[in-house]
Amino acid sequence: MNPTGNTILITGGGSGIGRGLAEAFQALGNQVVIAGRRQKALDETTAANPGMKSLQLDIENPAAIRAFAAEAAMQFPALNVLINNAGIMRPERLLAQQPDLADAEATVTTNLLGPIRLTAALLGQLRKQPSSAVINVSSGLAFLPLALTPTYCATKAAIHSYTLSLRYQLRSTTTEVLELVPPYVATDLMSGASDPRAMPLGAFIAEVMKILKTQPTPTEICVENVKSLRFAAESGKFGAIFEGLNAAMADVH
């Protein structure tokens, strides 16, 4: 993926990793469009970054996603990069879980069905361009789960699997399919912004952009901090890392 000269749509772009990516890509000369549910967050981000655009999106609503994709393609006909970043992460105490499974169902709808639906709705638009890309944001927890957030980790594992299949199906086209695999990053997701164990957001974004600017784009974008999780199984230390992570993170929420 060429890191400049694109028109990039980033879901969840009003805060956290999404906003960090939006600002970094805009600094490289891309036209950036951020999307999300919270209009206030979108407005604050675009006001702080003149030239950045926004569109409101309810990622849980299939009809809204289809209408959004049509509007995005109409307003930004050069749109050639989709970054599926929007996500939620909620603790689930399985022994005391409510029978309606509201948190689990919302997590599946937002983190898994949302990216699948939006990718399907925009793939025709992306394929019109001379070159294009889909970047799915998974997590180090896709490869080694945090027991406190079982559905979040399951959706990220599913996004990893979906990304592999999407990449294979598009292998003979001009649309690249990439996966961004964040570690624990200091954002408002699960109150991590003030946790000293989390990787600072600025450091994470800087390392991601360095990879994109200086390396032939890898299919998986992994900063150093996430590699112990990403390659836990390959290292032969999965069990020890799993126990250590879950013991250390038991007090996050």
- For 1, the 3-state DSSP assignment is coil
Instruction: Report the distance separating Cα 15 and Cα 227, nearest Å.
Output: 24
CB 228 within 8 A of CB 128: no
Lay out the sheet containing 220-222: strands in order across: 53-56, 31-36, 7-11, 81-84, 132-137, 175-181, 220-222
CB contact burial 134-172 (16+ within 10 A = b; e otherwise): bbbbbbbbbbbbbebbebbbbbbbbbbebbeebbeebee
Tokens 């699948």, residue located:
116
The token duo for 120 is 């399907």
CB 31 within 8 A of CB 7: yes
- Packing angle of the helix pair 62-75, 114-127 (nearest 10 deg): 30
Ordered DSSP codes for 228-248: HHHTHHHHT-HHHHHHHHHHH
**Does the annotation mark 162 as catalytic?**
no
Active-site choice (152, 162, 168, 184): 152
- Give the DSSP letter of residue 112: I
Tell me which residues are annotated as active site. 152
